[in-house]
């Protein structure tokens, strides 16, 4: 075995001893597991109107986009979705990417460079962290969801070009950033605010327009919104929404946009159908809120430390990485899929079960899922 392979094997053994081995688990199309691990919050991934729109586009355009957006990958389906997203989010323009990860990398890199001070919430998603690290900017990690701490950091760097980066609903614990208060600080310090709205889009705000809209910040010229299209909208892709000048800059210079193959038109058309449904889906949002309350009540009564969800994601602390893995596997063996989050996915080094709620699950299945989670606890 070559030396580099031996080094990888040693690293794999170290991860295994720490309970940090990860495993791919392919699922069949007819999988009957109750899904509290995926991100299909509103149950739209298999909605008949979404499937029909995607199928029609598949027949019209073929399987793939066949090229990057600037070569042959842009279609009228992409343009229509961007128009709808911009209107929904209250932004001047929107730009669609093939993933939320690439959208975040592209947005952070576009807004920061060697002379910029990037301030990143301690609990930010890996895509935002990677965007900060690759930007060439000076990066300061800020205490979690703390406007006063942010103000102190900005006061210590007067006259700097600054950008503050945060999620709205955080992807592990599901808590909501105090966006209005954070914006008051960034606005007073002439600082851009970039918000990853991935876990709030479709759930919070009027017509589900997200956490930024719910905080009254939609369309603000100093607020940039990113999101994935793979959660409440049930599809795939990402979006950056904001002033036209930013979108122009991303099209002209953004490497994660220019050099990436466009998302397939069928997926784009399906997401656009899901967006139409989502805007009128107050009934599904109400189910999600009720299920969040039910989950917290059931697990708290059973003695588990549970985060209070702002939208559709919450977490339950596990004794350690191996215990979290065993807990998740035991639930799966009984037909319930839950997320198992271990370092480095967790921001504080602890391990959790992450539950992502789904308004499309039958009530009796949801009730049974909560019972199984309690019964399988280590």
- Token code pair at residue 273: 């159908």
d(CA 52, CA 141): 45
- Closest-CA residue to 257 (of 95, 120, 117): 95
Q: Which residue of the set 121, 230, 231, 232 is catalytic?
A: 231
Q: Which residue of the set 124, 196, 220, 230 is catalytic?
A: 196
Mean pLDDT of the 38-63 span:
97
H helix intervals, the chain? 3-17, 48-61, 76-89, 100-111, 126-134, 147-155, 179-188, 211-214, 244-253, 255-258, 265-279, 282-301, 321-333, 363-375
d(CA 243, CA 221): 6
Lowest mean pLDDT: which of 15-29, 56-70, 108-122, 200-214? 15-29
What CATH number is given for 48-279 in this structure? 3.40.640.10
Give residue-wise pLDDT tens across range 195-241. 999 999 999 999 999 999 999 999 999 999 999 999 999 999 999 99
| Cβ pair 116, 138 in contact under 8 A | yes
- Closest-CA residue to 295 (of 232, 226, 353, 230): 353
Phi, psi of 226 (to 5 degrees): -120, 160
Residue with tokens 């392979």: 5
pLDDT at 1: 67
Asked whether residue 322 carries a pLDDT value surpassing 90, the answer given is no
- Closest-CA residue to 121 (of 162, 186, 160, 167): 167
Show me where the domains of the chain are located: 31-46+282-375, 48-279
- Token code pair at residue 51: 């499937």
125 annotated active-site: yes
Categorize the per-residue pLDDT at 348 as very low, low, confident or very high, splitting at 50, 70 and 90.
low
- Token code pair at residue 225: 């919104």
At residue 157's C-alpha, the angle toward residues 152 and 161, to 5°, is 120
Q: Is 305 helix (H, G, I), strand (E, B) or coil?
A: coil
Categorize the per-residue pLDDT at 318 as very low, low, confident or very high, splitting at 50, 70 and 90.
confident
| Cβ pair 84, 268 in contact under 8 A | no
Phi, psi of 96 (to 5 degrees): -95, 135
59 annotated active-site: no
DSSP readout, 326-377?
HHHHHHHHTTEEEEEE-TTSSTTS-EEEEEE--TTS-HHHHHHHHHHHHHT-
Asked whether residue 25 carries a pLDDT value surpassing 90, the answer given is no
d(CA 29, CA 16): 30
The partner residues of 339 in beta bridges, in order of sequence, read 354
Q: Could you give the count of Cα atoms lying within 13 Å of 213 in the half-sphere of its Cβ? A: 23
Asked whether residue 138 carries a pLDDT value surpassing 90, the answer given is yes
350 annotated active-site: no
Q: Which residue of the set 104, 171, 232, 351 is catalytic?
A: 171
146 φ/ψ sector (left φ>0, alpha ψ -120 to 50, else beta): beta
d(CA 73, CA 98): 11
- Closest-CA residue to 105 (of 82, 126, 89, 81): 126
Lowest mean pLDDT: which of 87-96, 180-189, 203-212, 300-309? 300-309
pLDDT at 24: 83
Largest CA distance in the chain: 59
Q: Is 96 helix (H, G, I), strand (E, B) or coil?
A: strand
Mean pLDDT of the 304-329 span:
90
pLDDT at 133: 95
230 annotated active-site: no
| Cβ pair 265, 78 in contact under 8 A | yes
Q: Which residue of the set 35, 39, 99, 168 is catalytic?
A: 39
Give residue-wise pLDDT tens across range 79-91. 999 999 999 999 9
Name the average pLDDT for the chain. 95
Instruction: Determine the topology of domain 31-46+282-375 in CATH.
Output: 3.90.1150
pLDDT at 365: 97
Kindly state the helix (H) or strand (E) to which residue 237 belongs, with its residue range. none
| Cβ pair 210, 129 in contact under 8 A | no
- Closest-CA residue to 361 (of 72, 45, 13, 150): 45
Mean pLDDT of the 185-189 span:
98
Lowest mean pLDDT: which of 91-95, 142-146, 262-266, 313-317? 313-317
Q: Which residue of the set 82, 121, 167, 173 is catalytic?
A: 167
183 annotated active-site: no
Asked whether residue 188 carries a pLDDT value surpassing 90, the answer given is yes
d(CA 144, CA 79): 36
How many CB atoms are located within 10 Å of the residue 271 CB? 28
């Amino acid at each position: 075995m070559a030396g580099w392979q031996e080094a990888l094997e040693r690293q794999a053994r170290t991860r295994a001893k720490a309970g940090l081995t990860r495993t791919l688990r392919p699922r069949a199309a007819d999988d009957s597991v109750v899904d509290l691990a995926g991100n299909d919050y509103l149950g739209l991934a298999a909605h008949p109107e979404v499937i029909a729109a995607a199928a029609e586009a598949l027949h019209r355009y073929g399987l793939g986009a066949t090229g990057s957006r600037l070569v042959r990958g842009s279609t009228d389906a992409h343009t229509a979705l961007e128009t709808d997203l911009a209107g929904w989010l209250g932004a001047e323009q929107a730009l669609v990417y093939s993933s939320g990860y690439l959208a975040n990398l592209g947005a952070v890199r576009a807004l920061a460079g060697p002379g910029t001070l990037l301030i990143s919430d301690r609990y930010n998603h890996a895509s935002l962290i990677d965007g900060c690290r690759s930007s060439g900017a000076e990066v300061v990690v800020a205490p979690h969801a703390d406007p006063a701490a942010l103000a102190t950091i900005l006061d210590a760097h007067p006259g700097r070009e600054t950008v503050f980066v945060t999620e709205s609903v955080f992807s592990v614990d599901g808590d909501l950033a105090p966006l209005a208060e954070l914006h008051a600080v960034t606005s007073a310090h002439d600082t851009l605010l970039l918000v990853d709205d991935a876990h709030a889009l479709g759930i919070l705000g009027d017509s589900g327009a997200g956490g930024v809209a719910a905080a009254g910040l939609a369309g603000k010229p100093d607020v940039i919104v990113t999101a994935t299209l793979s959660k409440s909208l049930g599809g795939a892709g990402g979006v950056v929404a904001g002033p036209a000048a930013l979108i122009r800059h991303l099209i002209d210079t953004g490497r994660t946009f220019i050099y990436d193959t466009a998302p397939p038109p069928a997926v784009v058309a399906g997401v656009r159908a899901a967006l139409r449904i989502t805007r009128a889906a107050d009934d599904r949002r109400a189910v999600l809120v009720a299920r969040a309350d039910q989950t917290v009540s059931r697990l708290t009564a059973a003695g588990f430390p549970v985060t209070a969800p702002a939208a559709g994601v919450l977490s339950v602390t596990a004794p350690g990485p191996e215990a979290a893995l065993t807990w998740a596997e035991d639930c799966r063996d009984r037909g319930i899929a839950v997320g198992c989050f271990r370092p480095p996915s967790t921001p504080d080094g602890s391990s959790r079960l992450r539950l992502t709620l789904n308004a499309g699950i039958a009530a009796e299945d949801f009730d049974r899922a909560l019972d199984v989670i309690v019964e399988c606890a280590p």
